[in-house]
Amino acid sequence: MDIFSEEYARQLDAKDPLKGFRDHFVLEDNNLVYLDGNSLGVLPRNTATYMEQVVKEEWGRGLIRSWNTGWYERPQKIAAQIALLIGAHADEVIVTDSTSVNLFKLAYTALKLQQGRKGIVSDSLNFPSDIYLLQGLAEIFGNQHDIRLAQSHDGITVSHEEIENQLGNDTALLTLSHVVFKSAFMYNMKDITSLSHQKGAMVLWDLSHSVGAVPIDLNDAHVDLAVGCTYKYLNGGPGSPAFLYVRKDLQEKLKSPIWGWFGQNNPFDFNLQYQPAPGIERFMAGTPPMLSLSMLEPSLNIFLDAGMDRLRNKSVQQANYFIQLFQHHLAPLGFSMGSPIKEDQRGSHISLRHPEGYRICQALIEPQKDSPVVIPDFRQPDNIRLGITPLYTRYHDLFRAVIKMKTIVDQHWYTAFSIKREKVT
């Protein structure tokens, strides 16, 4: 059979052992091809039901009593589910605050522990606000630190040699995104962590674009610190709270700079002297946003049921299928790969580059002439970023996205759209 045919895509879906998981999500509009689950995951069916229970029963009827019948333990309970996805122990993970605030807290305490060392290493492909937070921390510490960014030579990858060149015997902290937000380049976490430890530097991984996308084993890689986002692949809903990881043996040595209510040992003693909680809870701050936080549980149950290895397997197969279609249909039209070809260097999203990338994105989102609505996202200057979320992405979705991109360029549909840029997450 012609591997470029629509029928072939449908056959791949029919044979997909994970196809049933799509039914767990609210995806009723068959005219919608959603390839932005790496920015905001789709609503799980059980979440809608569970939200009603949390709002009407737990808050509405239980009122303040619900703190003692589940709410207090929920950040730990949900963290224990996330721990299973990232190769950590339950008592090494907590759900709290945003990724920004968590990165701030952990990078601060790492720099404090490593005082005397003045180097901070990251890379030029990192998510910009991860760099902003480091710049802010450098200012807090009196501008004694030198922030060195390993450079990418192709705009897609960063070599391990480049990281090694930036690391020195004065490096306090190396912090990188495990999977890079734009190109989906994925580091070998274990190798990089080991490289960093050899120089005496601590390592903080940002898992925002890798948790729920690829298997992660923080303990196996002996990672010190990590943070991550839950509203992308983990489908926690818009702005659902983030998580952080601190390896068990480091917890007593580290302390959040934000000496908050939920990080205190025995907060209900109302003692006036701060005493950090003994475990991972010391990295919490204020009261967690319980409605947003609760919504993570139904989605995490689906992940644990599907299993990260099976999901990764499907993600790689779908990406390779997509790349075949790209090479056949899109490469001749001026599209190029903005992501690594090698699957072991790639997360679960793919960026395609095109000089008209921004207008092509707008045309994809617009329904026209029987074409589906295709939702990717756009990343400067010319990246069309497509997220493969194997719990609910179909091969047929990828097929339709490629055919629409081809048509948009072939038939100059994109010229109907403005080059003025709006916000797109």
Q: Which residues are catalytic?
A: 127, 206, 231-232, 385
Does residue number 220 form part of the binding site for a copy of itself (CB under 8 A)?
no
- Report the nearest approach of a copy of itself to the CB of residue 335 (Å): 21
- Tell me the residue type at 9: A
Contact pick of 240, 251, 339, 362 for a copy of itself (by CB under 8 A): 240
Contact region with a copy of itself (CB under 8 A), list: 194-202, 212-220, 270-278, 341-349: 270-278
Contact region with a copy of itself (CB under 8 A), list: 53-61, 185-193, 333-341, 392-400: 53-61
Closer Cβ to a copy of itself, 42 or 384, answer by number:
42
Closer Cβ to a copy of itself, 289 or 307, answer by number:
289
Footprint on residues 4-33 left by a copy of itself (CB under 8 A): 26, 29
Closer Cβ to a copy of itself, 166 or 193, answer by number:
166
- Report the nearest approach of a copy of itself to the CB of residue 131 (Å): 5
Does residue number 70 form part of the binding site for a copy of itself (CB under 8 A)?
no
Does residue number 268 form part of the binding site for a copy of itself (CB under 8 A)?
yes
Closer Cβ to a copy of itself, 101 or 179, answer by number:
101
Contact pick of 100, 151, 152, 301 for a copy of itself (by CB under 8 A): 100
Calculate ∠ Cα 151-337-416, nearest 5°: 115
Closer Cβ to a copy of itself, 8 or 72, answer by number:
72
Tokens 């068990």 sit on residue: 248
Interface pattern 125-164 for a copy of itself (x via CB under 8 A): ---xx-xxx-xx--xx--------x---------------
Does residue number 252 form part of the binding site for a copy of itself (CB under 8 A)?
no
- Report the nearest approach of a copy of itself to the CB of residue 379 (Å): 7
Footprint on residues 306-335 left by a copy of itself (CB under 8 A): none
Does residue number 342 form part of the binding site for a copy of itself (CB under 8 A)?
no
Does residue number 355 form part of the binding site for a copy of itself (CB under 8 A)?
no
Contact region with a copy of itself (CB under 8 A), list: 15-23, 266-274, 315-323, 341-349: 266-274
Does residue number 206 form part of the binding site for a copy of itself (CB under 8 A)?
no
Closer Cβ to a copy of itself, 4 or 59, answer by number:
59
Conformational region of residue 107, where left means phi above 0, alpha means psi within -120 to 50, and beta covers everything else: alpha
Closer Cβ to a copy of itself, 286 or 334, answer by number:
286
Candidates 408, 387, 407, 409; CA nearest to 398 is: 387
Footprint on residues 80-99 left by a copy of itself (CB under 8 A): 97-99
